[in-house]
Chains A and B, each alone.
Chain A
Amino acid sequence: MPYNFTVSPDFTPDHLSGWFIFNTWIQKQLGEGFHLELYNDFESQRKAIEEGKVDLIFANPYDAAMLVREKGFSPLVKPASKSDEAIIAVNAESPINCVEELQSGIKLASTDDPDVHMMGMIMLEPADLDKTNIEMKSCDSYVLVAKELLRGNSDVGFFLAEAFNDLSSMVRKQLKPLVSSQIQVVHHSLMIGPALADKKDGFRQALLSMNEDEKGQGVLKSLGFSGFEEMDEEEMEFMIDLVDTLLF
């Protein structure tokens, strides 16, 4: 039976093939079979985790607490210098120039990316906005969030900063960012479950030295990462504690 590998459903479509290439690389490195299963949304991925169908996951920081504290996962690595940050933006023509000018009853376009949504909601708090006094529309992608704003269907949108910067310059020109988070310590990480625990050290070593050979560099490139950095248990616990304070 191969081990099951999955990736947080918020990966960028451009990197879809990269994850399959990475899966092949893992199998060669560990000499074990891995099956990459991608889920359409966070809900179905969490159900699979619940059912014990995941052994290796590139996880959203929001799910890290559940993976560590309920499912016995532990962190391996994180992508080098790539933290998750959120941007709140409005249509460039909007009279709104800062978060505090947003009024109760506004229409928000967001995605089901749990960490970006959480950071976005925190950045709305200074305007006394919360889920009770906004109207939320959930979109399938950041491009669709942008469209909501361009068409005037929504007043504000939440973006993963990286996704915002990846929008075409024509679209970006029609948007106005109100605030960008600079949290720096919230990021995705590659985590292994109990079934793979005995392979942890060798696996981590292989990941950390990935950018030292041409093959590894090619795989990293297809994922859009410059390399991996070690993520130890204490750094993970710190991130979980931090996310915990933000959910409170």
Chain B
Amino acid sequence: MEDMKPEDITGEYQEVTLELYGWGPRKILYSEIESPYPDGRLIVSRTDTKGMITHVNQSFIDMSGYTEEELIGAPHSILRHPDMPPAAFKDLWDTSARGEKWQGYVKNLRKDGGYYWVKATAIPNVRNGEVVGFTSVRRKPSRKKVEECIALYPTLF
């Protein structure tokens, strides 16, 4: 995973550096351009137990703007948007560590600096009684729920 580059960005953007867990600082360039969630699709990815991406489906590739090669082996925080409160991801990791399912609304960052909202569900992959990774499946969120998150998330920092 690399810093984001101005030549990849569409439209006006802001700059911030995020400290990513298990990775270090990453320069983020982000715009106010929203991509609508594609109707009828699921965006699917799998990670290892550390959150490194091991599998993505075509919808994931299309929405994120990255190539499959750029995604596989990268930390899932490659999609981390600065507007997402750290508490949301702490809850995801705490819940998954207990072997339970997590659900929440997430604003994700695209390679071109834009963003897209999803309703995400993450579950641990249990094989022979052991957690070997995680699967996350995103679906189209209700606009009403997204508006609630837009109001709530800034208060969680």
B31 at interface, CB cutoff 8 A: no
A100 vs B103: C-alpha distance when bound (angstroms): 21
- Chain B residues with CB under 8 Å of A184's CB are 57
- Chain A residues with CB under 8 Å of B144's CB are 128
B26 at interface, CB cutoff 8 A: no
B41 at interface, CB cutoff 8 A: yes
A180-B40, A182-B41, A183-B42 known; A125 vs B123 contact (CB < 8 Å) = no
A241-B135, A245-B123 known; A125 vs B142 contact (CB < 8 Å) = yes
Residues of chain A from 136 to 174 with CB closer than 8 A to chain B in the complex: none
Cross-interface CB contact of A125 among B42, B57, B136, B140, cutoff 8 Å: B140
B98 at interface, CB cutoff 8 A: no
A238 vs B135: C-alpha distance when bound (angstroms): 8
Contact between B40 and A179, CB atoms less than 8 A apart: yes
Number of inter-chain CB pairs below 8 Å: 62
- Chain A residues with CB under 8 Å of B76's CB are none
Render B115-157 as a binary contact track against A, CB cut-off 8 A, 1 for contact.
Answer: 0000101110101000000011101111111000000000000
Residue of A nearest to B124 (CB): A241
Contact between B123 and A248, CB atoms less than 8 A apart: yes
A231 vs B154: C-alpha distance when bound (angstroms): 45
- Chain B residues with CB under 8 Å of A241's CB are 123, 125, 135
B44 at interface, CB cutoff 8 A: yes
Residues of chain A from 90 to 143 with CB closer than 8 A to chain B in the complex: 98-100, 122-123, 125-128
- Chain B residues with CB under 8 Å of A123's CB are 39-40, 140
A126 vs B119: C-alpha distance when bound (angstroms): 10
A137 vs B39: C-alpha distance when bound (angstroms): 25
A242 at interface, CB cutoff 8 A: yes
Contact between B39 and A237, CB atoms less than 8 A apart: no
A182-B40, A241-B125 known; A248 vs B101 contact (CB < 8 Å) = yes
Greatest chain A CB density within 10 A among B40, B59, B137 is at B40
Contact between A245 and B119, CB atoms less than 8 A apart: no
Cross-interface CB contact of B137 among A125, A179, A246, cutoff 8 Å: A246
Residue of A nearest to B135 (CB): A241
Contact between B123 and A128, CB atoms less than 8 A apart: no
- Chain A residues with CB under 8 Å of B123's CB are 241, 244-245, 248
- Chain B residues with CB under 8 Å of A183's CB are 41-42
Contact between A181 and B125, CB atoms less than 8 A apart: no
A128 vs B145: C-alpha distance when bound (angstroms): 8
Cross-interface CB contact of B127 among A99, A185, A237, A244, cutoff 8 Å: A237
A72 vs B58: C-alpha distance when bound (angstroms): 32
A246 vs B57: C-alpha distance when bound (angstroms): 16
A125 vs B119: C-alpha distance when bound (angstroms): 10
- In the complex, how many angstroms separate the beta carbon of B122 from the nearest chain A beta carbon? 8
Residues of B within 8 A of A (CB): 37, 39-42, 44, 46, 57, 59, 101, 103, 119, 121-123, 125, 127, 135-137, 139-145
Can you list 19 pairs linking A and B with CB atoms under 8 Å apart?
Answer: A98-B39, A123-B40, A125-B140, A125-B142, A126-B140, A126-B143, A180-B40, A181-B40, A182-B41, A182-B59, A185-B57, A238-B46, A241-B125, A242-B44, A245-B121, A245-B135, A246-B139, A248-B101, A248-B103
Q: A242-B42, A242-B135, A246-B139 are in contact. List 17 more A-B contacts (CB 8 A).
A: A98-B39, A122-B139, A126-B37, A126-B143, A128-B144, A128-B145, A183-B41, A185-B44, A237-B125, A241-B135, A242-B137, A244-B123, A245-B101, A245-B123, A245-B136, A246-B137, A248-B121
